[in-house]
Amino acid sequence: MQIDVVEVGSFSRKLQIKVPADRISKELDAAYKRVGRQVSLKGFRKGKAPRRVLEMRFGGQIADDVARALIQEAYTSAISDKGIEPVSQPQLEPYDDVVKGSEFAFEINVDVRPSVALETVTGVDVVYPKVEVAEDEIEAFVKSRLEGQAKLVEVSDRPAQLGDMVLVELSAKDGDEEVANEPGTMIRTEADPYYPGVDAMVLGLSIGGEKSEELSFAEDARTDAVAGRTLTVSVKVIGIQANEVPDLDDAIAEELGYEGGAEGMRGALRLQLETTKTDMARNQARANLLQALIAANPFDVPGGMVDQQLQALVEELRMQRAYRGLDPRTLNFSPEQMTDLRARAEFAVKGGLILENVSKAESLEVTDADLETKYQELADERDQPVEAVKGYFVKDDAVDELKERLLEEKTLDWLLERANLVDSAPEAPAAEAAPEAKPAKKKKAAKKKKAEAAPAEEAAAPAADGADLSVLKGSVAAVKEALSSGDHDASLAELLAAEEAGKGRKGAIAAIKSRM
């Protein structure tokens, strides 16, 4: 069997295969013997039907079976013996039937990992965001920490305002039928789950104040009697409670675990903000670097590689949905969302190929010391023993995957050190915009463990300029759902800083960092 590999393009190969005539004759003879032993034909004893009769009855099917078997054998031999690494399904060209005494020739087209020739690697302009921590950010961060020490106190000298808990008499009627009567129920003025909508009614009412209006309650209202119904609701304010946040002093700082009193706490929070923003700036610079390198070194990638990356991304989104207890089968994508996901997948494939090329060219490697440092970093982040973290990776067979990620990070840092870091740059063309900073995962990485999951649950068009901080006003679950859309990817740094400087919810912070 003769196998020739013809390079059609940077990632396309044509396998030209010829099977000699004597091999064809042997395969056909063997196939007819097998069929002859198995079939029973009228007028002949089993296994005694002549070859000419078998050819008349089964000739076409036997020829097809022999051809398929030879094609599969040849393809398997080609990718093994010729060192071919397919990245998509092979495409078989039309071929002639196998005929006894004649050579059988056919061609298979297959895409392989492209050989990337990088003309520009160093000296590219890369926007590296400035890291600045304003005093008002620090004060907001201090306030968020102090809010954890707040206590509810009775208020009588002002109307109810956002953030208060308001005790009310409540009545809800459907015409003359009273469906709810609460002589005293507490209403949260921020998204009350039991009587949603009543929270807005009580705002601005003082003790003794009354109001009546028609409300349409959502289906998910936790009070079954009103859920999904439009009712006439009357309320009377009985009492108002507000969160009283203490002022910062040395005692409070010590109680919160900070050394050096009030100034020590401010200094520690400043350092925390600076560290967070520095990490975010570096991650954004890495994304900008990949985008700049892709723009400076245009090349095409096989559609099969993009399809695999897209499939892995979609599957990971479904897994994330399942982790949250939602049915992954209900996750559907609009054509616009799929276009965005494919753009992310193509960016990831190109970025991964560039990093792979650079790491090999510069002989960059991940050492045991690098791996140990990462284990310790993850252990510190999760407040777990380092041996436990190692165990997770070994158990999940994810050590090699971690090494690949560390090599990508080391390569990105090597490239950043040799880039021209600038404060701003012209806006990139839409076709080259980088939706994600992540390079492509190897196929194995599609089963990435929960702790390392990062992609979004739902895809949407790239976020508009400017950070939409209103996403942080909802619950942690709402924040996670909003982040999963991908709309806020361009503003993750601002969202993280705002959350840490505001409510400081661990779940929201973890969700933003995971998305990053």
Query: How far apart are the C-alpha atoms of 256 and 147, rounded to whole Å?
Result: 11
Query: How far apart are the C-alpha atoms of 201 and 190, rounded to whole Å?
Result: 12
Check which CATH number belongs to the domain holding 191 and give it: 3.10.50.40
| 342 class by beta-carbon count within 10 Å (0-12 exposed, 13-18 middle, 19+ buried) | middle
The closest of 62, 97, 92 to 75, measured between CA atoms, is: 92
The closest of 65, 32, 24 to 49, measured between CA atoms, is: 32
Please report the DSSP string for 248-307 in residue order: P-HHHHHHTT-SSHHHHHHHHHHHHHHHHHHHHHHHHHHHHHHHHHHHHS-----HHHHH
Residue 91 domain flag: yes
The closest of 483, 418, 491 to 454, measured between CA atoms, is: 483
SS3 10: coil
Phi, psi (rounded to 5 degrees) for 76: -60, -45
Query: How far apart are the C-alpha atoms of 277 and 287, rounded to whole Å?
Result: 15
Q: Residue 347 corresponds to which tokens in the numbers above?
A: 């960016």
Query: How far apart are the C-alpha atoms of 319 and 449, rounded to whole Å?
Result: 10
Residue 236 domain flag: yes
Whether 386 contacts 375, CB under 8 Å: yes
Residue 484 domain flag: no
As for how many domains the chain has, the answer is: 2
Q: Do both 155 and 104 map to the same domain? A: no
Query: How far apart are the C-alpha atoms of 469 and 488, rounded to whole Å?
Result: 9
pTM: 0.59
The strand pair at 151-155 and 165-174 is best described as: unpaired
Q: Do both 105 and 12 map to the same domain? A: yes
The pLDDT assigned to 478 comes to 66
The pLDDT assigned to 89 comes to 85
Query: How far apart are the C-alpha atoms of 304 and 309, rounded to whole Å?
Result: 9
Q: Do both 99 and 8 map to the same domain? A: yes
Q: Do both 87 and 34 map to the same domain? A: yes
Reading phi first (left if > 0) and then psi (alpha if -120 to 50, else beta), residue 96 is in: beta
Q: Residue 99 corresponds to which tokens in the numbers above?
A: 């005929």
Q: Do both 107 and 166 map to the same domain? A: no
Q: Do both 68 and 162 map to the same domain? A: no
Query: How far apart are the C-alpha atoms of 83 and 86, rounded to whole Å?
Result: 10
Residue 39 DSSP class: -
Residue 401 domain flag: no
Alpha-helical runs (H) found in 324-465 = 335-361, 368-382, 386-395, 399-417
Query: How far apart are the C-alpha atoms of 289 and 191, rounded to whole Å?
Result: 42
Q: Do both 81 and 173 map to the same domain? A: no
Q: Choose the final residue of a domain: 88, 111, 134.
A: 111
Q: Choose the final residue of a domain: 111, 137, 171.
A: 111
Containing structural domain, residue 28:
2-111
Q: Do both 107 and 18 map to the same domain? A: yes
Q: Half-sphere exposure of 89 toward its Cβ, with a 13 Å CA cutoff?
A: 4
Query: How far apart are the C-alpha atoms of 7 and 168, rounded to whole Å?
Result: 79
Q: Burial code of 249-268, b = ≥16 C-beta within 10 A, e = fewer? A: eeebbeeeebeeebeebbeb
Phi, psi (rounded to 5 degrees) for 334: -75, 165
Q: Choose the final residue of a domain: 48, 79, 111.
A: 111
Q: Do both 89 and 164 map to the same domain? A: no
Query: How far apart are the C-alpha atoms of 216 and 226, rounded to whole Å?
Result: 9
Reading phi first (left if > 0) and then psi (alpha if -120 to 50, else beta), residue 49 is in: beta
Residue 189 domain flag: yes
Task: Give CA separation, 453 vs 19, 25, 337, 377, 516, in Å.
Answer: 48, 55, 20, 17, 10
Query: How far apart are the C-alpha atoms of 348 and 437, rounded to whole Å?
Result: 7
Query: How far apart are the C-alpha atoms of 409 and 465, rounded to whole Å?
Result: 27
Task: Give CA separation, 371 vs 355, 365, 378, 483, in Å.
Answer: 19, 11, 11, 30
Query: How far apart are the C-alpha atoms of 48 and 39, rounded to whole Å?
Result: 9
SS3 514: helix
Residue 30 domain flag: yes
Residue 330 DSSP class: G
Q: Residue 479 corresponds to which tokens in the numbers above?
A: 């924040």
pLDDT digits (tens, 9 = 90+) for 242-287: 988 888 999 989 988 899 999 999 999 999 999 989 989 999 999 9
Whether 185 contacts 192, CB under 8 Å: no
pLDDT less than 70: residues of the chain = 424-471, 473-478, 480-481, 484-491, 493-494, 497, 499-507, 510, 514, 516
Q: Do both 183 and 232 map to the same domain? A: yes
Reading phi first (left if > 0) and then psi (alpha if -120 to 50, else beta), residue 197 is in: left
Residue 208 domain flag: yes
Whether 219 contacts 212, CB under 8 Å: no
Residue 38 domain flag: yes
The closest of 127, 505, 447, 68 to 281, measured between CA atoms, is: 127
Check which CATH number belongs to the domain holding 18 and give it: 3.30.70.1050
